[in-house]
């Protein structure tokens, strides 16, 4: 069976999220695995245990749907699906559902979400799942889904009877290509490369959110129409907080060209107040400096998040950058941001030029701290 790792697919067809394979996919041998070429990835309905993990819920859902469709085709009819939350369900319930028979004999699909949480610190559960994977029932398929995954003996057991598929969030370039292909395929709408890039900058590479926005802009222009950057600026609205985080996240990526493009987008197209964007950089540096300092003092991540109000997707990148950069270096940047704000308010500075210089300086530090890499 198959163990697959690699970057996110270039395209994920809607409905089943069926994907064309990007360059760089690698298939590694499991105990009974055969190497596959990167020409195509197909789910084998004979797989009795499947592990899907990654931070893109859209792709997790899409691949689950593809697996169920493949099973329905192989079984010649409907299959029964049962979903459990690994943060709430107990081991006995999951195993009982896998091994039990219904009144109407159909193939059964048991989906266990938050699988890593289900197994975390639970050696008894992990051992039991390893035993099940070593001898799964023929009339059921177990799909384990999780954002993260800690490798162990269970992976070896799964590889013998099923497949392991790591889902990675697409890069901005891949996400933009995906938007254009989806709009053309599903709606007969053209999306210019510039519009696709602008959409990804505003929304991020999350395929779920991008799917919603593509639906919206495609419906607005109609079949045969073209989505332009002006269309995106008009229809893809984001809140004040999202605009701030969008600028912060692009700066933290270390990509100077993307930072310059985002500033232009916010200043010229979005007409965002200069004060808001200046505050966003000051706020970013405040959080980075405090996180770096507190982390080196041994303060737990949860306590730092609570103290600095770091919630949701914004927390992890802040901690990652704060670990790479020294508190003194971040304090210097923070001081510059404060001085810049004071000069602008006193009329002694050029707000636009000062903001451009500061954001590019921060992006450069981010890039160098990551060894010149940016995701």
5: β partners: 26
Assigned CATH topology for domain 239-375: Zinc Finger, Delta Prime; domain 3 (1.20.272)
Query: CB within 8 A of 44, min separation 6: which ones?
Result: 1, 2, 163
Bridge pairing between strands 108-113 and 80-85? parallel
**Cα-Cα end-to-end distance for the chain:** 30
3-state secondary structure of 265: helix
Cα(60)–Cα(166) distance, rounded to whole angstroms?
10
3-state secondary structure of 321: helix
Each residue of 47-103: pLDDT tens digit?
999 999 998 888 899 899 999 999 999 988 889 999 999 999 999 999 999 998 766
Each residue of 354-368: pLDDT tens digit?
889 999 999 999 988
Cα(145)–Cα(58) distance, rounded to whole angstroms?
12
The two structure tokens encoding residue 266 = 């916010």
Q: What are phi and psi of 26, to 5 degrees?
A: -130, 135
> 171-237 in CATH: which number?
1.10.8.60
Q: What does the domain layout of the chain look like in residue ranges?
A: 2-166, 171-237, 239-375
Q: Could you confirm whether domain 2-166 is CATH 1.10.3720.10? A: no
Lowest mean pLDDT among 25-29, 76-80, 312-316: 25-29
Cα(153)–Cα(130) distance, rounded to whole angstroms?
7
- Tell me which DSSP letter residue 163 carries: E
Each residue of 117-152: pLDDT tens digit?
999 888 899 999 999 999 999 999 999 999 999 899
pTM over 0.85: no
């Amino acid at each position: 069976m198959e163990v697959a790792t690699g970057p996110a697919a270039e395209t994920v067809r809607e409905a089943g999220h069926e994907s064309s394979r990007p360059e760089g996919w690698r298939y590694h041998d499991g105990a009974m695995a055969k190497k596959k070429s990167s020409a195509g990835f197909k789910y084998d309905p004979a797989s009795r245990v499947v592990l899907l993990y990654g931070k893109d819920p859209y792709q997790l859902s899409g691949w689950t749907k593809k697996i169920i469709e493949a099973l329905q085709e192989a079984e010649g009819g409907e299959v029964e699906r049962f979903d459990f939350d690994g943060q709430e369900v107990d081991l006995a319930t999951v195993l009982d559902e896998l091994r039990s028979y219904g009144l109407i004999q159909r193939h059964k699909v048991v989906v266990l979400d938050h699988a890593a949480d289900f197994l975390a610190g639970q050696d008894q559960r992990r051992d039991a799942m390893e035993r099940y994977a070593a001898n799964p029932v023929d009339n059921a398929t177990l799909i384990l889904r999780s954002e993260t995954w800690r490798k162990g003996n269970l992976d070896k057991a799964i590889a013998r009877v099923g497949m392991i598929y790591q889902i990675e969030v697409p890069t901005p370039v891949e996400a933009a290509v995906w938007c254009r292909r989806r709009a053309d395929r599903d709606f007969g709408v053209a999306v210019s490369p510039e519009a696709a890039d602008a959409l990804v900058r505003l929304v991020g590479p999350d395929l779920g959110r991008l799917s919603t926005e593509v639906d919206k802009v495609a419906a607005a222009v109609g079949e045969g129409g073209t989505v332009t950057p002006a269309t995106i600026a008009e229809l893809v609205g984001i809140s004040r907080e999202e605009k701030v985080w969008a600028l912060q996240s692009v700066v933290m990526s270390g990509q100077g060209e993307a930072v310059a493009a985002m500033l232009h987008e916010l200043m010229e197209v979005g007409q965002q107040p200069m004060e808001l964007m200046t505050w966003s950089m000051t706020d970013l540096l405040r959080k980075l400096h405090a996180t770096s300092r507190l982390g080196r003092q041994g303060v737990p991540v949860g306590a730092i998040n609570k103290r600095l109000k770091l919630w949701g997707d914004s927390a992890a990148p802040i901690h990652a950058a704060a670990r790479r950069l020294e508190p003194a270096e971040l304090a210097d940047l923070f001081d510059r941001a404060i001085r810049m704000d004071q000069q602008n308010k006193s009329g002694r500075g050029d707000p636009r030029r000062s903001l451009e210089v500061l954001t590019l300086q921060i992006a450069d530090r981010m890039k160098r701290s990551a060894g010149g890499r940016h995701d």
